[in-house]
Amino acid sequence: MTTKVAARETGLSEYELRAGFRQGRYPAIEIGKGTRAKRLRWNLDFLRAAIKRDMVNTLRVNRSNGEE
C-alpha cells in the first residue's frame, strides 16, 4: 500500500512513516530507480507489528526510568 494509505490506516503522518523507515524503525519496500524517484510500499501487518514493538520498548524504558 502507498504511504498515504498507510498513514490513514495507522494514524501516523506520512512524514513519520518516511522518517521511521529511514531510521530503520518501520519496514517498507523501496520501488523505483535513482535517489529521487523511489517510492515506499508498506505491508500493514508488518507496519503494525513494528509500531507495537516501538510502543512496548518505550513503555519499558519509561518504567525503568521511574516514569509512568
Encode pLDDT of 30-52 as tens digits. 998 777 778 999 999 999 999 99
pLDDT at 15: 96
Average pLDDT over residues 4-28: 96
pLDDT at 68: 60
Number of H helices, E strands in the chain: 3, 2
pLDDT: which is higher, 31 or 63 = 31
Q: Other CB atoms closer than 10 Å to residue 26's CB: what's the count?
A: 22
Nearest to 7 by CA among 24, 23, 28: 28
Domain tally, the chain: 1
Cell 508498506 locates to: 42
Domain that holds residue 17: 3-64
Strand spans (E) along 1-68? 29-31, 39-41
pLDDT above 80 (res 67): no
